[in-house]
Structure 1
Amino acid sequence: MDELADLTEKLVAIPSHEDETAAGDAIEEWLRTETDARVERDDAGSVLAYKGETNDYDADTLAFVGHHDVVPPADRQTTGEGNAGGYVVERRDGRIYGRGTADMKGAVAACMLAFRDAEPPAGRELAFASFTGEEVGGTGARHAIDNGFAPERAVVAEGSTDYSTPGVTDVVVAHKGRRASTLVASGTAAHASEPEDGENAIYRASDAIDVVRELDAPESTVFGETVSGSLAVTMVHGGETWNVIPERCEVTIDERTVPGDRADIGRAADAVDGVEWEVDQDLPPMACGDDAFADAVLAAAREVHDQLGLDAPEHVIKPHATDAGWLAEAGTDCLVCGASEPGEAHTDTESVGVDVLERCYRIYRGLAERTF
């Protein structure tokens, strides 16, 4: 399917790690040229499109969702600095190489073509969204949601690595979130030769860490599968010089949250005097609450795999957060299904298989035309 590979190369060649405008322009122009959908560009730079009998927000809407920002490229992946130069794109041996091929402009291209080609059943609105700012906390998705983007169901075509079995496009029914937080211990400075005159913030932080170590990591069950989160202290910063009792110590905590459960980190602040808890980032987890939708996506994926003579996909759990978390939090039933291959996303040799993109296109189009 040369059109899919060509469109992927076109999008990948456009720098979008510092400024997503040009990539959004290309997506918007293609949609306006190739479809009769209603196309919008919001204030955050995200591109939204709708087609169907009703062509409005009130229909039973299925959305294909992606993002066109990427992480910064390696030197070998760009022809210049910042957005001044293009990205290097190469196609060889059935693969397309370049920053954003896997995560996730290839899947965005597959979504665009499926959105154009699909003929949804009566009463269904088909939507497409390519967000900005996914790699920096979902700023584009959050802006769109705040301004009315509210599909009933969405397939997030995320291409981040290692959630599918090699050679298979699995369907993610849940993923973990990430909460980054800091315990800030305050004390009183004094000369280290007279420690009793001060209050050692590092000691207070150590007591708080002991509390964190005893906390249970979050855990839940989705589609009969156990989703286990994690909790870990990852950095400790305190003190300014060797002979002064420290008056401040910060403890950084990485928590992988799960649908419906979080660790009680606040207990550490409650238990130790002089310790406060601050949340720095909170990317929500996702769990699909619509069994029929989850089964329909898996059935569509299995049909395509069977036609191609491939092993059958399964419902799986993804360890990383995506924009699906923000959509799920807002009430959209989400699944994640994209061009996930081992060891590709965010690497300086990032690539995607053309056959994998074609597989995704067929799954997306088949799902859009399916009754469920």
Structure 2
Amino acid sequence: MDVASLTRELVSIPSHDGPDCDESAAGEFVAAWLREHTDATVTRDDHGNVLARKRGGDGGESLALVGHHDVVPPDESQVDAGGAYVVDERDGRLSGRGTADMKGSLAAAILAFRDADAPGNGELVFASFAGEERGGVGCRAAIDEGFAPDYAVVGEGSTGYSATGVTDVAVAHKGRRGSTVVAEGAAAHASEPEAGENAIYRATDAVDIVRDLDFPTTEVLGHDLRGSVAVTEIDGGSSWNVIPEECEVTVDERTVPDERAPLERVEAIEGVSWRVDQDLPPMACGDAAFADAVLDAAADAQDARPEHVVKPHATDAGWLAAAGTDCVVVGAAEPGEAHTAEESVSVAVLERCRRIYESVATSWLG
């Protein structure tokens, strides 16, 4: 089976989280395929994760090819009248929900895992996680239960960063910390504002603090990584003639390894508190030799010259890196493709990624 055919099969399986769908069928398909086409040890855990292992002799290191089989809910145009996902192929590209993020690269990793020999020592692992689009719940559960490869190639998008059509190697990515600033006051009639405490005023004082914060920065293998902090929503007040007693401000922070903006400073304002709602960790590869080896494999698989790059958004590589795995990100998706009604992926780039994954599996564990 070639990568286009396997991608089509994977994409055709609905696997978003919603009242009319779950991702279990996609995980079952991946596990069954691996059992039929490889001699690896294949398991599917209680969280929906699929793990396959090829073991060599004692000692040695472990390398994982990592992806996920869940997707975000499809656009209406990506579903037929019967509720099945639509997959089209035109001009060398496959289109449909999940083609870019990330069932195409998942198919490439499955085939690379199938074709790679078992290492002489150590272990080659394939992992397809559930719930990546829900905050990495599958990856986090696997880590909690002992999933701890030494190295990982995560198949999220890295194509088109240094130049159009070039599949690069991401050695770092940003994380995301979403938080809420809550300002509390005391209600009063608006005709007597001094009788209350205006929560919106307290919230805007907090916004001024957020606006003046420096963005977090760091360096990863010679590459500068700069985060950001931005107020994205504000909600307060109950009526035009009532001094507001509560106001909430949403803050989006793009984090970098080992750095966070000091958002807790807003709590110096009377009546203001701050809570973290989501914290997706950033990723930084700490092993330059591994990053270079993957870059060599990427260079051998294409005529263009790939580069080490950084990604602007979080992936499961962040959870793995936080648990001690040295990660890089290599995948077929291009910037702006994921989660769109026009989502698509190049078949030629999927073939390229399959070659990169197999080459890394063979050379790094050889």
Question: Residue 30 of structure 1: which of 28, 33, 40 is its match?
Answer: 33
Secondary structure at the aligned position of 1:253 is classed as strand
What residue in structure 2 maps to residue 322 of structure 1?
Answer: 315
What residue in structure 2 maps to residue 286 of structure 1?
Answer: 283
Is 1:299–2:299 an aligned residue pair? no
Identity %: 65
Q: Identify which range, 310-319 or 159-168, moves more after superposition.
A: 159-168
What residue in structure 1 maps to residue 112 of structure 2?
Answer: 114
Q: 1:164 Cα shift?
A: 5.5
Question: Residue 43 of structure 2: which of 40, 44, 66 is its match?
Answer: 40
Q: 1:197 Cα shift?
A: 0.9
Per-residue deviation, residues 148-185 of structure 1 (Å, max 9, x unmatched): 11100000001378645321110000000000001000
Give the residue type in structure 2 aligned to 1:284: P
What residue in structure 2 maps to residue 71 of structure 1?
Answer: 72
What are structure 1's unaligned runs of at least 5 residues?
none
Inter-partner Cα distance in structure 1 for 2:341 and 2:36: 33
Is 1:341–2:334 an aligned residue pair? yes
Q: How does 1:119-134 map to 2 (within 5 A)?
A: 119-134=117-132
Q: Is the 8 A contact 1:161 1:343 kept in 2?
A: no
Q: How does 1:219-238 map to 2 (within 5 A)?
A: 219-238=217-236
Secondary structure at the aligned position of 2:249 is classed as strand
Per-residue deviation, residues 88-126 of structure 1 (Å, max 9, x unmatched): 011222111111001100100000010010125421310
Inter-partner Cα distance in structure 1 for 2:122 and 2:295: 19
Inter-partner Cα distance in structure 2 for 1:137 and 1:266: 23
Inter-partner Cα distance in structure 1 for 2:60 and 2:189: 69
What residue in structure 1 maps to residue 304 of structure 2?
Answer: 311
What residue in structure 2 maps to residue 99 of structure 1?
Answer: 97
Q: Is the 8 A contact 1:104 1:160 kept in 2?
A: no
Give the residue type in structure 2 aligned to 1:45: G
Inter-partner Cα distance in structure 1 for 2:118 and 2:32: 23
Question: Residue 170 of structure 2: which of 169, 172, 188 is its match?
Answer: 172
Per-residue deviation, residues 123-162 of structure 1 (Å, max 9, x unmatched): 1310011111111110110011111111000000013786
What residue in structure 2 maps to residue 138 of structure 1?
Answer: 136
Give the residue type in structure 2 aligned to 1:48: L
Q: Is the 8 A contact 2:160 2:168 kept in 1?
A: no
Cα 1:128–1:164, aligned 2, differ >3 Å: closer, same or farther? farther
Q: Is the 8 A contact 2:158 2:167 kept in 1?
A: no
CA RMSD, Structure 1 to Structure 2 (Å): 1.5
Inter-partner Cα distance in structure 1 for 2:228 and 2:84: 39
Is 1:265–2:263 an aligned residue pair? yes
- TM-score, normalised to structure 2, is 0.96
The number of aligned residues is 361
Q: 1:59 Cα shift?
A: 5.1
Is 1:360–2:353 an aligned residue pair? yes
Give the residue type in structure 2 aligned to 1:20: E
Q: Is the 8 A contact 2:174 2:281 kept in 1?
A: yes
Q: Is the 8 A contact 2:171 2:308 kept in 1?
A: yes
Secondary structure at the aligned position of 2:2 is classed as helix
Inter-partner Cα distance in structure 2 for 1:70 and 1:110: 17
Give the residue type in structure 2 aligned to 1:65: V
- TM-score, normalised to structure 1, is 0.94
Inter-partner Cα distance in structure 1 for 2:319 and 2:162: 22
Is 1:155–2:158 an aligned residue pair? no
Inter-partner Cα distance in structure 2 for 1:242 and 1:160: 49
Give the residue type in structure 2 aligned to 1:75: E
Inter-partner Cα distance in structure 1 for 2:71 and 2:119: 34
Question: Residue 331 of structure 1: which of 313, 324, 336 is its match?
Answer: 324
Secondary structure at the aligned position of 2:202 is classed as helix
Q: 1:52 Cα shift?
A: 2.2
Secondary structure at the aligned position of 1:188 is classed as coil
Inter-partner Cα distance in structure 1 for 2:276 and 2:161: 27
Q: 1:344 Cα shift?
A: 1.9
Give the residue type in structure 2 aligned to 1:165: A
What are structure 2's unaligned runs of at least 5 residues?
none
Q: 1:60 Cα shift?
A: 1.2
Q: 1:223 Cα shift?
A: 1.1
Q: 1:42 Cα shift?
A: 1.1
Inter-partner Cα distance in structure 1 for 2:274 and 2:161: 32
Q: Is the 8 A contact 2:158 2:330 kept in 1?
A: no
Q: 1:340 Cα shift?
A: 2.3
Is 1:49–2:52 an aligned residue pair? yes
Inter-partner Cα distance in structure 2 for 1:207 and 1:97: 47
Cα 1:74–1:164, aligned 2, differ >3 Å: closer, same or farther? farther
Per-residue deviation, residues 71-96 of structure 1 (Å, max 9, x unmatched): 1111111114xxx7210011222111
